Amino acid sequence: RAKDLVSRLTLQEKSQQLVNPSTGISRLGVPAYEWWSEALHGVSNVGPGTRFDKRVPGATSFPAVILSAASFNESLWYKMGQVVSNEARAMYNVDLAGLTFWSPNVNVFRDPRWGRGQETPGEDPLVVSRYAVNYVRGLQEVDDEASVKGDRLKVSSCCKHYTAYDLDNWKGVDRFHFDAKVTKQDLEDTYQPPFKSCVLEGHVSSVMCSYNRVNGIPTCADPDLLQGVVRGQWGLDGFVFYP
């Protein structure tokens, strides 16, 4: 179905589908869609794809991720994901949310000065990896074998931000110009494991590349990281989102 739809699109229509507020295509009956929704520790209206009103004035808000991760309770993380995706589905059914959520944030929180550290499971690559797998599965899975393999989704989860991202604005350097100098060993031992686990064990449906560069190359334009690793080595069966 997807291949057939793409074959019917003009070049302009294709380009309009490459941004998060995708325009509708009336001649083909394709509605507009907002891809950006957030669910780091509960369905949030931070992203424009989700909103609350009198019918659904709010959603369950779990503790900040770094606090939940400190429990070291994998079944808890999975159940949190289930609750969040149940509520997301309910909101989708009344046209208050989409089904694509840019969560979880699985960057390793190495520098405590980073202002987004509370979004992450912490500084330990193993803990971050286990959190990633369980939260992603909780979000995405329905109760059948096909869902466990990622073939059917309750909602679409996105592991972000790939990779070596932990700076937003420091001494005149912002996240769009930050160049992370990382050794191959540190990249493999510290920064990559959570994303690898997302893909191989969590069967995540999307990965978001990060804002920064790694060793001089923008992560969103690095064929080695994206095609070579995420798709080639790990076998991502989904899409890569560019923030």
Whether residues 123 and 73 fall in one domain: yes
Residue 53 has pLDDT above 80, yes or no: yes
Whether residues 62 and 168 fall in one domain: yes
For 170-223, write each residue's pLDDT tens digit.
Answer: 889 999 999 999 999 999 999 999 999 999 999 999 999 999 999 999 999 999
Phi (first) and psi of residue 37, to 5 degrees: -135, 155
Residue 162 has pLDDT above 90, yes or no: yes
Contact 205, 152 (CB under 8 A): no
Scored b (16 or more CB within 10 A) or e, 158-195 reads bbbbbbbbbbbeeeeeebeebebebeeeebeebbbbbb
Element (H, E) at 213: strand 213-214
Phi-psi region of 149 (alpha: psi -120 to 50; beta: other; left: phi over 0): alpha
> What are the residue ranges of helices labelled H in the chain?
2-8, 11-16, 65-69, 74-93, 125-140, 145-148, 184-186, 193-200, 223
Whether residues 208 and 158 fall in one domain: yes
Whether residues 117 and 196 fall in one domain: yes
For 76-122, write each residue's pLDDT tens digit.
Answer: 999 999 999 999 999 999 999 999 999 999 999 998 889 999 999 99
What residue type is assigned to position 101 of the chain? F
Contact 66, 122 (CB under 8 A): yes
Contact 111, 57 (CB under 8 A): no
Burial class for 8, CB neighbours closer than 10 Å (0-12, 13-18, 19+): exposed
Residue 62 has pLDDT above 80, yes or no: yes
**Angle of helix 193-200 relative to helix 125-140, nearest 10 degrees?**
30
162 pairs with which residues across the strands? 209
Element (H, E) at 56: none
Whether residues 28 and 49 fall in one domain: no
Which residues have CB under 8 Å from 227's CB, separation 6+? none
pLDDT number for residue 2:
86
Domain count, the chain: 2
Which tokens in the block code for residue 135?
A: 């939260």
pLDDT number for residue 113:
87
Taking the C-alpha atoms of 237, 123, 79 and 119 in order, what is their torsion angle to the nearest 10 degrees? Answer: -80
Whether residues 3 and 110 fall in one domain: no
Nearest of 174, 157, 153, 156 to residue 165 by alpha carbon? 174
Whether residues 13 and 26 fall in one domain: yes
| Residue 20 structural domain | 1-33
Query: Percent of the chain beyond pLDDT 70?
Result: 97
Whether residues 11 and 73 fall in one domain: no
Whether residues 11 and 72 fall in one domain: no
pLDDT tier, 148 (very low <50, low <70, confident <90, very high otherwise): low
Whether residues 22 and 85 fall in one domain: no
Query: Percent of the chain beyond pLDDT 90?
Result: 88
Whether residues 20 and 53 fall in one domain: no
Whether residues 4 and 79 fall in one domain: no
pTM of model > 0.85: yes
